[in-house]
Each structure stands twice: as C-alpha cells, then as structure tokens.
Amino acid sequence: MGDRFASLALLPRPRDAVTMWVETGAEAVHFLDAVFSAFDGIGNVRRQYREEGAKKLFRIYVAPGCTAEAERLVRSAARFVPIGEVRVER
C-alpha cells in the first residue's frame, strides 16, 4: 500500500508566522488572547515575554498576510487595556 499522503509533499511549504511583540501587562494578555480568539486564524497570543528595561513585551504569532489586521486588533484593544509599544519582526 502506497503512502496515502504522498500528494501533500507536492504542496508548497506554508509561510512562517510573523512575530509581533506587544508591550503590556500580564493581565492584559488574557484580554488580548480573548480578542484574538474571536477572530479565528489571525494570531496566537503567547504568555511568553521578554523584558527590556522596565518594558515587558509579550509575543503574538500572526498568520501570514494578517499583520495589518492583527495590529488593528491590538490598537483597538488599547481602548480597554494598557498597550504600549508594538513591534513586528519581519
């Protein structure tokens, strides 16, 4: 019996997710996670963070082609939770 998934090898490799770093607090990450969960497939909010001086930057993995929409979601969320700097690694 042949490999039933052999045809998948012919497909192009998916593009990698874009990493977005958002300056915020641990409590706000829960809110951001709920916001991104409402828009299925745009991004994945992580509890992983890095510290840069007094700043705490949390990671969001953004689906390819959804960077502008993810940035809009983060900026909209800033009306409800503290959001500082937003960086997109390209």
34, part of any domain: yes
46 domain residue, yes or no: yes
**Across residues 54-65, what is the average pLDDT?**
96
Tell me, yes or no, whether 61 lies in a domain: yes
Residue 70 located in a structural domain: yes
CATH of the domain at 62: 3.30.70.260
Its domain, for residue 69, covers: 14-89
pTM of the predicted protein model: 0.82
Which residue's structure tokens are 């997109």? 88
Closest by Cα among 52, 13, 73 to 60: 73
Give Cα separations from 24 to 2, 15, 16, 45, 67 (angstroms). Answer: 51, 27, 24, 12, 18
Tell me how many domains the chain contains: 1
Residue 8 lies in a domain: no
Give pLDDT, residue 90. Answer: 75
- The verdict on residue 4 lying in a domain is no
Question: Where residue 2 falls among pLDDT bands split at 50, 70, 90?
Answer: low
Judge whether 76 lies within some domain.
Answer: yes
